[in-house]
Amino acid sequence: MRAVIPFKKTNAKSRLSPLLSEKEREELAMAMLNDVTEALLGSGCFKVIDILSTSIIETGGANIVLTDKGLNEALNEYLKKMTSHSINEPVLIIMADIPLVSAGNIRDITSSSADIVIAPGRMGGTNALFIRDPSRFHVDYYGSSFLKHRDIALKNGLDIETFDSFNLSTDIDEVSDLSEVLLHGKGHASRYLENLGLGFAWNNGRVGIKRI
């Protein structure tokens, strides 16, 4: 079994720019990537962990596969290459911006017996995608990828399971999402934000975030 993490460091997480500088966003992106990689390593499930990256990065425990392609192209090329090299093993594609993921989550999602398992992000996204037979699936991210991946599975006669996890559903895109990292995170990303001096702000009874 192998895991693939698509990753973009350069000008990462632009929607966090109201609060974080470009350098801070890139450092946060790296911290989140490290959280995801550690969960994958900690699960003990994978022979190979590949990071499909658009730039050279340093991280432990995973291979860096450089690509200049977009998300869908890079991942579909990866799946095709597996097939053409007769590597017939399940793949977990997992996003680099879900720092709450745990090793237990990874063990649970990869132990499903379904052909395809989707861990949805909020608002129709796909945050993790477990593909039992990569020769029979392709990805289509952006927009409501949850619906698109469900349709691709159905068209290819594959059964599909939705993986129910708050941790996996929590991708970090907007400033308000950072609250979830401070509330629930225990890893690199939450320590990074705490060290930046970020803390909670209260707004109409809802939790927000600010520099303290």
Residues that bind its own copies in the complex, under the rule CB under 8 A:
102, 105, 119-120, 122-124, 142-144, 146-147, 162, 164-169, 176, 179-180, 183-184, 200, 202, 205-207
Q: Tell me the closest approach of the beta carbon of residue 13 to its own copies, in angstroms.
A: 16
Taking the least distance from each CB to its own copies, the nearer of 27 and 171 is 171
Shortest Å distance, C-beta 149 to its own copies:
12
Contact of 110 with 90, CB cutoff 8 Å: yes
Residue 81 near residue 4 (C-beta atoms within 8 A): no
Among the listed residues 202, 156, 141, 207, the one whose alpha carbon sits nearest the alpha carbon of residue 180: 207
Task: Return the number of the residue (15 or 211) whose C-beta is nearest its own copies.
Answer: 15
Q: At what angle do helices 22-43 and 103-110 cross, to 10 degrees?
A: 60
Nearer to its own copies, 30 or 181 (CB): 181
Could you tell me the sign of the dihedral formed by the alpha carbons of 8, 179, 109, 139, in that order? negative
Q: Which is nearer to its own copies, 18 or 202 (CB)?
A: 202
Query: In Å, what is the CA distance from 208 to each residue of 111, 131, 204?
Result: 36, 36, 10
Coil, helix or strand for 81?
helix
Between 21 and 176, CB nearer to its own copies? 176
DSSP one-letter string for 160-182: EEE---HHHH----SGGGHHHHH
Task: Give me the least distance between CB of 167 and its own copies, in Å please.
Answer: 5
Instruction: Tell the smallest beta-carbon distance from residue 143 to its own copies (Å).
Output: 5
Minimum CB distance to its own copies, residue 94 (Å): 15
